[in-house]
Amino acid sequence: MEATAPVKANSTRTRLGRPDYRRLAAFRYTLRRFLSFSEMAARRIGLASQQYQALLAVMGHSGQDPITVKDLAHQLLIKHNSAVGLVDRLEAEGLVRRQAGVADRRKVGILLTSKGVRVFEGLAAAHLSELKRIGPELRDFLEYMLTAAASGRAPAGPNPERPAPAAAASRRRGARAAERAPAES
């Protein structure tokens, strides 16, 4: 498992102010909302979030050969033996299959089955739709950060006090849906 180096405080950096902290908190909140969405979407069809992440890593693998358990472990930031167990569970569900390598039969690739592709495509479409919905919030934050990095100072960015258009629209849709929902007795 790969870990990043700890961040050290640097007195030469630009000091952050409350608006910066608000932006960071808003960004983190948006990420957590997406991760929560992902976990619930996977759970609704009987998968653990990590199983969806594994299917995504298999389908998104850019190598010429199928992804290996070692590569999967690296992609998911888990230990090799955990990746083996994950692949075992996905295989038992009929979502993936193992295939011995052509050049080196000791290397075993992981491929999605037709059932795995169907399950994955449905979840991936839902995830893409959610990313499109929260995209403006993420874009605003990233633009703010890129401007800050380029200038070396804290730029004027989106107002963290005012919800992003996508967030406001999402809340309005949620409120309308709640109004239409039958009252609990």
Average pLDDT in the 159-178 region? 49
- Among 79, 72, 137, smallest CA distance to 107 is for 72
pLDDT tens column, 4-30 = 665 565 545 667 888 888 888 999 999
Fold for domain 18-151+162-171?
Answer: Arc Repressor Mutant, subunit A (1.10.10)
Contact 101, 65 (CB under 8 A): yes
Question: Phi and psi of 88, rounded to 5°?
Answer: -55, -45
- Closest Cα to residue 30, out of 172, 159, 140? 140
Distances (CA, A) of 22 to 27, 113, 173: 9, 44, 25
- What is the pLDDT at residue 36? 96
Residues 6+ apart with CB under 8 A from 23: 141, 144, 157, 158, 160
Give the mean pLDDT of 102-131: 94
The pTM assigned to this predicted structure is 0.72
175 pLDDT band, cuts 50/70/90, is: very low
Closest CA relative to residue 108, chosen from 72, 74, 77: 72
